[in-house]
Structure 1
Amino acid sequence: MNSRTVFAVVTVVLFGLGLRLLFGSTSALTSDIAAFYSADSISMALLTTGPVIVLGVCAAAAGVLLSRARVTHVLVGCLILIAVGTAVRAVPSWPVLVAGTLVAAAGIAVANVLGPVLVRVIVQEWSQQGRSENPAVSARRLGLLTGVLTAVISASAGVASGVSVPLAEALDGGWRWVLGLWAVPVVIAALCMALLSRMFARAGSTAVSGAVESQGGSAVLRSPVAWAVTAFMGVQSLMAYSMIAWLPTIYRDRGVDAAAAGLLLTALSLTSVVTALTVPSVATRLPRQSALAVAVVLPTVAGLAGVLSSADSWALLWAVLLGLGQGGQLSLAMTLMNLRAATARDAASLSSMAQTVGYVLAACGPLVCGAVHSVTQRWEPSVLFLLVMTAPMAVAGAVAGRRAFYGVDVRQETGVRGS
Structure 2
Amino acid sequence: MSALTAGRWRQALLLAGVLGIAANLRPAITSVSPVLAAIGSALGLGGVGLAVLATIPIGCFALLAPASLPLQRRVGLEPAVLLILVMLSGGLLLRLIDAAPALYLGTAIAGSAIAMANVLVPAIVKRDFPNRVGLVTGLYITTLYIAAATAAGVSVPLMRASALGWRAALGFWAIPAIGGVFLWLPQVRHGVGRSPLTTRGGGFARMIRNPLAWAVTMFMGLQSLGYYGVLSWLPSILHSIGIAPGRAGLMLSISTIVALPSTLITPLLAVRGRDQRGLMVAVTGFTLIGYAGLTLVPGLAPWVWIVIIGLGQGAMFPLAMTLIVLRAGGPMEAMALSAFAQTIGYAVSVIGPLGMGVLHTMSGVWWPSMAFLTATLIPTFAFGLRAARSETLTLDAMRATV
Range 366-375 or range 67-76, more displaced: 67-76
Range 187-196 or range 224-233, more displaced: 187-196
1:302-350 per-residue CA deviation (whole Å, 9 max, x = no partner) reads: 1111211334352222111111111211111111111111111011110
1:154-174 per-residue CA deviation (whole Å, 9 max, x = no partner) reads: 332221110111122222572
CA distance in 2, matches of 1:109, 1:408: 23
The yes-or-no answer on 1:154 pairing with 2:160 is: no
Q: Which residue of 2 aligns with 1:131?
A: none
CA contact (8 A) 1:48 1:366 kept: yes
For residue 120 of structure 2, the aligned residue among 114, 137, 145 is 114
Q: Which residue of 1 aligns with 2:189?
A: 198
Range 285-294 or range 63-72, more displaced: 63-72
CA drift at 1:191:
1.4
1:212-263 per-residue CA deviation (whole Å, 9 max, x = no partner) reads: 1124133211111000000100001101110110001111122211111001
For residue 244 of structure 1, the aligned residue among 223, 231, 246 is 231
CA distance in 1, matches of 2:195, 2:143: 27
CA drift at 1:409:
5.0
The yes-or-no answer on 1:214 pairing with 2:205 is: no
1:10-409 aligned within 5 A: 10-124=16-130, 138=131, 141-171=132-162, 174-201=165-192, 209-215=194-200, 216=202, 217-312=204-299, 314-408=301-395
Which letter maps to 1:220?
A: M
CA drift at 1:121:
2.3
CA contact (8 A) 2:226 2:349 kept: yes
CA contact (8 A) 1:165 1:259 kept: yes
Which letter maps to 1:212?
A: L
Q: Secondary structure at the match of 1:49?
A: helix
CA distance in 1, matches of 2:366, 2:65: 31
CA distance in 1, matches of 2:77, 2:284: 32
Q: Secondary structure at the match of 1:312?
A: coil
User: CA, structure 1 residues 102+408, in 2 after alignment: closer, same or farther (shift >3 Å)?
Assistant: closer
CA distance in 2, matches of 1:222, 1:258: 46
CA contact (8 A) 1:69 1:211 kept: yes
CA contact (8 A) 1:11 1:189 kept: yes
CA contact (8 A) 1:220 1:406 kept: no
Q: Secondary structure at the match of 1:92?
A: coil
CA contact (8 A) 2:158 2:168 kept: no
CA drift at 1:10:
2.2
CA drift at 1:85:
0.6
CA contact (8 A) 1:66 1:214 kept: no
Q: Which residue of 2 aligns with 1:128?
A: none
CA drift at 1:8:
2.4
CA distance in 2, matches of 1:26, 1:303: 23
Q: Secondary structure at the match of 1:212?
A: coil
CA distance in 1, matches of 2:254, 2:221: 23
1:168-207 per-residue CA deviation (whole Å, 9 max, x = no partner) reads: 2222572212211111101111211122232455xx6xxx
CA contact (8 A) 1:56 1:109 kept: yes
Aligned alpha-carbon RMSD (Å)? 1.6
CA distance in 2, matches of 1:175, 1:367: 22
CA distance in 2, matches of 1:8, 1:384: 43
CA contact (8 A) 2:228 2:353 kept: yes
Range 268-277 or range 234-243, more displaced: 268-277
Q: Secondary structure at the match of 2:317?
A: helix
- How many residue pairs match? The answer is 389
CA contact (8 A) 2:78 2:191 kept: no
Range 9-18 or range 346-355, more displaced: 9-18
CA contact (8 A) 2:216 2:324 kept: yes
Structure 1 vs Structure 2: percent identity of aligned residues? 33
The TM-score, its normalising length taken from structure 2, stands at: 0.93
CA distance in 2, matches of 1:194, 1:82: 15
CA distance in 2, matches of 1:152, 1:379: 31
Q: Secondary structure at the match of 1:68?
A: helix
Q: Secondary structure at the match of 2:95?
A: helix
Unaligned runs of 5+ in 2: 398-402
